[in-house]
Amino acid sequence: MSTKHVYFFGGGTADGDGKMKELLGGKGANLAEMSKIGIPVPPGFTITTEVCAAYYDQGKKIPNAAVPEIEAALKKVEAAFGKTFGEPADPLLVSVRSGAALSMPGMMNTILNLGLTDASAEGLAKKTGNPRFAYDSYRRLIDMFGSTAMGVEHELFEHEIHTLKHEKKVKLDTDLTTDDLKELVKRYKAVYKKAVGDDFPQDPRTQLMLSINAVFNSWNGNKAIQYRRIERITGLKGTAVNVQAMVFGNMGDSSGTGVAFTRDPNTGENVFYGDYLINAQGEDVVAGIRTPEPIAKLDSEMPKVYAQLMGIRQALEKHYTEMQDIEFTVQDGTLYMLQTRSGKRTGTAAVRIAVEMAKDGMIDETTAVMRVNPDSLNHLLQPQLDPKAKVEVVAQGIAASPGGASGIVLLSAEAVVAHAEKHPKDAIILVRKETSPEDVAGMDKAKGILTSTGGKASHAAVVARGWGKPCVVGCDAVRIDEAAQTVSIAGHVVKAGDFLTINGTTGDVMIGKVPTIDPTMTGDFGTLMTWADKSRKLKIRTNADTPADAAKAREFGAEGIGLCRTEHMFFTGADKAEKEARIASIREVILAETADARAAGLAKVLVFQKKDFIGLFAAMDGYPVTIRLLDPPLHEFLPKDDNPKGQEDAARDLGVSVERVRARNDELHEFNPMMGFRGCRLPIVYPEIGDMQVRAIIEAVIEVKRQGKSVLPEIMIPLIGTADELTILKKRAIVVAEDTMAKAGVKVEYQVGTMIELPRAALMAGPIAEEAEFFSFGTNDLTQMTFGVSRDDMNGFRAAYLKEKIWAVDPFESIDVAGVGQLIDLAIQKGRASRQAKHGQHLKVGICGEHGGDPESVFFFHKVGMDYVSCSPFRVPIARLAAAQAALGQKAEGNK
Ligand code: PEP
Ligand code: MG
């Protein structure tokens, strides 16, 4: 821990700077940096994140050494601002805010107006000649301090203000007079005393120290912990605390407050974007209680301030070469910047801003590539509402986060969470008056969010944008009746559970469902991808089982197929009749009682498989295609006993008795199918199944070659645990392939390789690689078999494992580098060395489990030297960008 605990900023100087985010938090570092570059910020100081860590180490106590530093920094603030803390006649008031190294908006505590007491409230009233403002500030302090530092329920204060407004027959808080506010202060103090057992502290230093504690405590509050889990934020020391001279936006009509982005965070357009409120404090803008004014209007209301703000906008972008999210306050005509930080944005905006900044020469191409979070591309890959669909727009709100979403309406975050647990596939639109940090778990599970109040910087808008979820806010035609569980929208009544559609790109709201269309990769998105491709080393393939998926993946830049799961082909078909014929063909094989009968069934299966392979090969002209031999246990293709109708239909279609279907089901039943009769074990016992598949593959290649297209088929054998399994199956595959080519009189290239998805296969990679021409890691099974955790049976403990941090992330979503990663690394090294020694060849290595589309995992696959990753078509651009960042990141590290 460093010996300095407290860093001063203000008046054009600062102890710290913008690079010290880890120590000072994002907010503190930026305040220091702004002060250094001459942006007007109110003076203050930052207590470091290390003090937060020490606070917890010492059983929630601020370390002694920090206390005199806080006192000394406070003196400097007093000198810089020309006011004294605790001075009754003209008090210095301060705010106390959190600020971690990574932004966690609204997740931790803030307390404003600290330093007000009975005496200084009166002093402030006299000094400003604005007693209404003084007592409004005082009552806000009692509420905020009481609820955040002392645990008094905020609702108790809310109740008092509602009661008073009712008594005074007024609607708005601003309608309350000075005397009303004095009365409110009295009532708030009574609430405080009843709840805390003590009077509201009249010593400002006591207020200050308790507030600092409160901010540190909020670091480990439920909201903050939940947010860090969803955002996968780990490894931070804690939050810093920023104590800063208060400036007031609520001192009358020449004051105000606002939040803005230096560019549009939805679209990325280079326009000033934000909201402000006259005569208000900061939280009024973000809380969504009053609907604020668009920033452009400030030009007519306060032209001088607006011009200064535009200058600062430019200065900040130039200094940081990044889009900024700023907060400002105007006190009696004087502008103060309260915060600047890199602005959260949609994926669409991230791409546009990065590309435009690079084209403008503000940053270079590789910086642009590094600027976009690969996962945020999801936003550009979201379905949009079909522009050709006939829709009736019943209301319009503010377009807060683009994309279209249809889903069932639910009216609370808790209802969303409960519904999603039972029906994870249902799309849900969360409809609320406004959202608050308590709602994040429900917002996470919702497909889209609609609120009746709030502006572009409201909680709902900021969070939805960060997550790439469609969101419409401030739709005042929406009236929610929680008791009746209905929403009325411009005269239409929608019940909870009914369908609703929102368009976050336009702000439109529609009753019912609207069809969506897939996105395309054009414009800035395409440009960024070509820049990314210049840097990456990994090839990106796709997992695809149909020509349509393969074609989509090609559009997204896939360079081949890394996994075709041949079993999926039995559940598809051009029409109902073909679908039925496909599943019937494999059932005929399974139910056959003689070798001849099985051969007859296989001949039918071959026709379908060959047709599918031709489609895939044609779509991937010029690229490699990995076809995996049948993997699941055979009983997966038979209707189970809990589906008697299915069993009867199957028996009828195949001309066998229903008893025969049931008996075969019983024979094939397994207690642990994932470790049962599947993968390479099938063709070991039934070689004719493997033969048929190899024949279908080679015949399809020959056919495609005749069409003038080229393809490199890779025949992949799943679930190998011993080299012998591969030796037997490879030998057989070669015999069949040679025979097929001889019969056709055509020679084609092909390779035979294996999946590495059992820990034993990873350990025995040396001997296996003597046979295998390629390895493809099946990280779904490898994770499952290494952890001994079934990927389909985690419901009982998954949440607990994440909560207890036994798992930092679900190992099926992001590769477990420490454990499974070791097996992968070892297998690559052993496999490559052995292939080189035995055949003088480079062993081609890829991965085709779900991790292939996860950016963190892609970084690891790059690091261990894989040749390619394969992922679902819609993850292909994400993997391309992640692969480029992995390569650039490694280069940057190498330069250090
Ligand atoms: C795997 O195990 O990672 C894999 C790709 O195969 P499947 O998911 O089909 O078992
Ligand atoms: Mg597998």
State the distance from the centre of ligand 1 to the C-alpha of 607, rounded, in angstroms.
Answer: 25
| CA–CA gap between residue 160 and residue 190 (Å, rounded) | 10
Residue type at position 698: I
Distance, CA of 187 to CA of 184 (rounded, Å): 5
Catalytic residue selected from 848, 851, 862, 871 = 848
Using the 8-state DSSP alphabet, how is residue 843 labeled? P
| Residue identifier of the C-alpha nearest atom 1 of ligand 1 | 778
416 confidence band (pLDDT: 50, 70, 90):
very high
In this model, does residue 667 exceed pLDDT 60? yes
Residue 388's pLDDT band (cuts 50, 70, 90): confident
pLDDT in tens, 623-637: 999 999 999 999 999
Task: Establish whether residue 631 lines the binding site of ligand 1, counting it when its CB lies within 6 angstroms of any ligand atom.
Answer: yes
Residue nearest to atom 4 of ligand 1 (CA): 778
DSSP 240: E
Nearest protein Cα to ligand 1, atom 10: 781
Instruction: Name the pLDDT band for 855 (thresholds 50, 70, 90).
Output: very high
Task: Determine whether 52 is an active site residue.
Answer: no
Is 629 touching ligand 1 by the criterion CB < 6 Å?
no
Q: Which two tokens stand for residue 834?
A: 């052995």
Q: Whose alpha carbon is nearest atom 8 of ligand 1?
A: 780
Beta-bridge mates of residue 561? 542, 625
Give the distance (Å) from ligand 1 centre to CA of residue 780.
Answer: 5
Nearest 5 degrees, angle CA 170-CA 176-CA 178?
155
Cα(110)–Cα(287) distance, integer angstroms: 13
3-class DSSP assignment, residue 394: strand
Over 70: is that where the pLDDT of 231 sits? yes
pLDDT above 80: residue 457: no
Cα distance between residue 775 and residue 760, in whole Å? 14
**Average pLDDT score over the chain:** 92
Record the tokens describing residue 486, joined without a space: 């209905």
Q: State how far the Cα of 518 lies from the Cα of 351, in Å rounded to an integer.
A: 18
422 is written with which tokens? 């039972």
Mean pLDDT computed over 853-873: 96
Q: Which residue has the higher pLDDT, 679 or 128?
A: 679
If you measure from the C-alpha of residue 312 to the centroid of ligand 2, how many angstroms do you get, rounded to a whole number? Answer: 55
Instruction: For residues 186 and 431, give the distance between their C-alpha atoms in angstroms, rounded to a whole number.
Output: 37
Distance 791 CA to ligand 2 centre (A): 11
Residue 203 structure tokens? 């010593």
Mean pLDDT, residues 373-389 taken together: 84
Whose alpha carbon is nearest atom 9 of ligand 1?
A: 565
Q: Can you tell me the mean pLDDT for 44-69? A: 95
d(CA 463, CA 175) in angstroms, rounded, equals 32
At 820, the pLDDT band (50, 70, 90 cuts) reads: very high
Pick the more confident residue, 223 or 164. Answer: 164
Compute, in angstroms, the gap from residue 786 CA to the centroid of ligand 2: 13
Q: pLDDT at residue 1 above 70? A: no
**Options 5, 379, 419, 459, the catalytic residue:** 459
Regarding the beta carbon of 779 and ligand 1, being less than 6 Å apart is answered yes
Angle (nearest 5°) at CA 212 between 209 and 213: 90
Q: What is the pLDDT of residue 892?
A: 58
**Count of Cβ atoms closer than 10 Å to residue 122 Cβ:** 18
Q: Counting ligands in written order, which one lies closest to the CA of residue 848?
A: 1
pLDDT at 396: 92
pLDDT higher than 50, residue 574: yes
Q: Does 781 contact ligand 1 (Cβ within 6 A)?
A: yes
Sign of the Cα pseudo-torsion (468, 474, 475, 479, in order)? positive
98, β-bridge pairs: 241
**The tokens of 848 are what?**
């085709």
Res. 286: pLDDT tops 80? no
Query: Which of 541, 543, 565 to probe ligand 1 with, by most ligand atoms within 8 A of CB?
Result: 565
Extended strands (E) in 592-748: 624-628, 712-717
d(CA 641, CA 543) in angstroms, rounded, equals: 32
Residues 868-891 have pLDDT tens digits of: 999 988 889 999 999 999 999 876
Q: Is residue 778 within 6 Å of ligand 1 at its C-beta?
A: yes
Environment class of 806 (CB within 10 Å of its CB; exposed 0-12, middle 13-18, buried 19+): exposed
Specify whether 162 is catalytic: no
Is residue 355 pLDDT above 50, yes or no? yes
How far is ligand 1, taken at its centre, from the CA of residue 781, in Å? 6
DSSP letters for 756-769: E-SHHHHHTHHHHH
